Chain A
Amino acid sequence: DGGITQSPKYLFRKEGQNVTLSCEQNLNHDAMYWYRQDPGQGLRLIYYSQIVNDFQKGDIAEGYSVSREKKESFPLTVTSAQKNPTAFYLCASSIFYQSYNEQFFGPGTRLTVL
């Protein structure tokens, strides 16, 4: 089955630690995205990547970093510089060559800072 996988489903982190969230897709999509979801806030864009080895900051990139070394993978690192990292993180992907932006989401990772 084609789709997007995120791991782990739940993640706990101590303050001051960096943590990396995994996102893999086998849909052969060029574009990938990371969103953060907080209660009552909707989804906010952290980073996106249109193609391998390229990525752009979204609306709330501070305290986060990404890499896109492979088409299938777009890991997100939550650094110690992120002041309030506890949230639900969603990864998504979309076809690049078509001129619309239908996005397919993974199941999410819930990060809790202890």
Chain B
Amino acid sequence: GENVEQHPSTLSVQEGDSAVIKCTYSDSASNYFPWYKQELGKGPQLIIDIRSNVGEKKDQRIAVTLNKTAKHFSLHITETQPEDSAVYFCAASSMYSGGGADGLTFGKGTHLIIQP
């Protein structure tokens, strides 16, 4: 089965600086890579995702890059703000061309702390 490794487990950055969280995956069949943000006591919320047919995707201050050859993908947050403080999870999954659902395999999470 799929195995997703996520680093670092904790990341502290100064407000306004950039933050980078990295993940690797093991199953070359994985082709969908979402990132979730979880605030304390709440369920995770999708913030950005990328599919294996693209190498990079941006949404305002957030970007994700994918290197299929190396089987790793990263989340980049620029101009960090206090509200970015949360736990971030990467995940991997195989999408089936004929439709179909499968569970995501999640990394263990990164606790991002934005220092004022």
Contacts and interface: CB of A to CB of B under 8 A. Distances in A.
Contacts of B93: 101
A15 interface: no
B28 interface: no
Given A44-B106, A90-B44, A103-B34, 13 more contacts: A41-B108, A48-B101, A48-B103, A50-B100, A90-B43, A92-B43, A101-B34, A101-B104, A103-B104, A105-B36, A105-B44, A107-B41, A108-B42
Interface residues of A, number: 32
B44 A96 contact: no
Interface of A: 4, 6, 30-31, 33, 35, 40-45, 48, 50, 58-59, 90, 92, 94, 96-108
Contacts, number: 77
A90 B93 CA distance: 18
A92 B89 CA distance: 15
Interface of B: 1, 6, 9, 32, 34, 36, 41-46, 49, 51, 89, 93, 95-109
A59 to B, nearest CB: 7
B56 to A, nearest CB: 18
B1 A59 contact: yes
Contacts of B43: 4, 6, 90, 92, 105-108
B89 A43 contact: yes
A100 B104 contact: no
DSSP majority for the B interface? Answer: loop
B33 to A, nearest CB: 10
A41 B107 CA distance: 8
B101 A42 contact: no
B108 A100 contact: no
A42 B1 contact: no
A92 B93 CA distance: 15
Nearest to B1: A59
Contacts of A104: 46
Contacts of B46: 102-104
Q: Enumerate the 4 nearest inter-chain pairs by beta-carbon distance, A residue then B residue, closest first.
A: A105-B43, A31-B101, A45-B103, A42-B108
